[in-house]
Structure 1
Amino acid sequence: MVVGSDILPKILIPGLKTNVGGSLIAQNSIFGWILSGPVAEQISTFSTQVVEGSEDSLGDLLKRFWDDDEFCEELYKNTTYRREDGRYVVKLPLKSTFPDSTALGHSRPAAQQQYLSIERGIEKKAELQTTYSKVLEEYLTLDHMEPTKSREIIRDGKYFSFYLPHHAVIKPDSKTTKVRVVFNASKLSHSGLSLNDVLHTGPVLQNVLMPIILK
């Protein structure tokens, strides 16, 4: 973060540490500790610039989010139904521009490559391989997924199917789920767009992270 010297006195608070790492000085501030001094070892540097976009005003952005939320809520109200077995069926909130200007491309090769990579990674880890297989078998048992044809759905040269790559997230310290299967809907298809790109985001259902951090 680049801070102008004119506001530096306003952000500093009591707290000073010397000989940090052997050569640095740490000064406490309202943003955390600021390090200064010579560097003893060679390091690589990079710079980041944050530029405020001028294309959309804040009002336009808020209106877009509001319209997006309203569309998704109305879609779920009008299309969601319950099957005889008690399960709910929910329609994906596809954007109105799909598939004309926001079209998917083929996605099977990338998902298959991800699967083969997982197979190679866990074949030497018997416990992980067993656990991963059990999770997928549970999805089949619960009807969360089902076998399908190994062909992508194409009509008039446009793709109407998307293969979700998946991988394992391992949490050895977890008392409940030590291995979790994560499906990646952000993986780009051959058209340069992902499944997430052609879907409305919808309202945020969990607490927003930024206010939690600021509190």
Structure 2
Amino acid sequence: MEDKKVLENFVNTIEKKDDGCYVRLPWKEIPVKPPDNRAIALRRLMSVWTSLQRDKDLLEKYNDIFQEQLRSNIIEKVTDEKKPVEDKIHYLPHQAVLTPQKNTTRIRIVFDASAHYEYSPSLMMHYIEDQ
């Protein structure tokens, strides 16, 4: 990754607010609209849901992680009132990563910015690329 550009982006776009610090993502120079990937995200959600239904304890822990991220403003619910005017909404599909041998983090959430439709770019394709 172009470390200098990423660091420059970080320094130039950091905003300090009462509820925390915000940094803009390092988009490529030419602005492009991320593809609509709602169907991919919903399919992934259904897959995760089906998997975790087999173990209610893991499903509850997975939900607890999301609830904590909501409380900490790491993630937010997107409602019709909150949708941006530019329609730049791209959902991050996620999946459960299980490590049953660990006592503290048996389950964690991994967001997948590289998920995409065939012949369509992923969200990662819109960031500063490796040189």
Counterpart Cα distance in 2 of 1:74 and 1:143? 25
TM-score, normalising length: structure 1: 0.54
Per-residue CA deviation, residues 21-72 of structure 1 (Å, 9 max, x unaligned), is xxxxxxxxxxxxxxxxxxxxxxxxxxxxxxxxxxxxxxxxxxxx5xx32221
- The one-letter amino acid paired with 2:21 is Y
Equivalent runs, 1:21-36 vs 2, <5 Å:
none
Where 1:121 maps in the other structure, the secondary structure is helix
1:170 matched to 2:98? The reply is: yes
More helix by share: 2
Counterpart Cα distance in 2 of 1:141 and 1:190? 35
1:93 matched to 2:26? The reply is: yes
Which structure has the bigger radius of gyration? 1
Higher relative CO (CA 8 A, sep ≥ 6), structure 1 or 2? 2
Coordinate RMSD, CA, aligned: 2.4
Identity %: 26
More strand by share: 1
Give yes or no for contact 1:170–1:179 (8 Å, CA) kept in 2. yes
The structure 1 segments of at least 4 consecutive aligned residues displaced by more than 4 Å after TM superposition are 150-155
Counterpart Cα distance in 2 of 1:188 and 1:153? 22
Give yes or no for contact 1:166–1:181 (8 Å, CA) kept in 2. yes
Where 1:143 maps in the other structure, the secondary structure is coil
1:146 matched to 2:76? The reply is: yes
- The unaligned stretches of length 5 or more in structure 2 are none
- The unaligned stretches of length 5 or more in structure 1 are 1-64, 203-215
TM-score, normalising length: structure 2: 0.85
What is the number of residues matched between the two proteins?
Answer: 129
- The one-letter amino acid paired with 2:77 is P
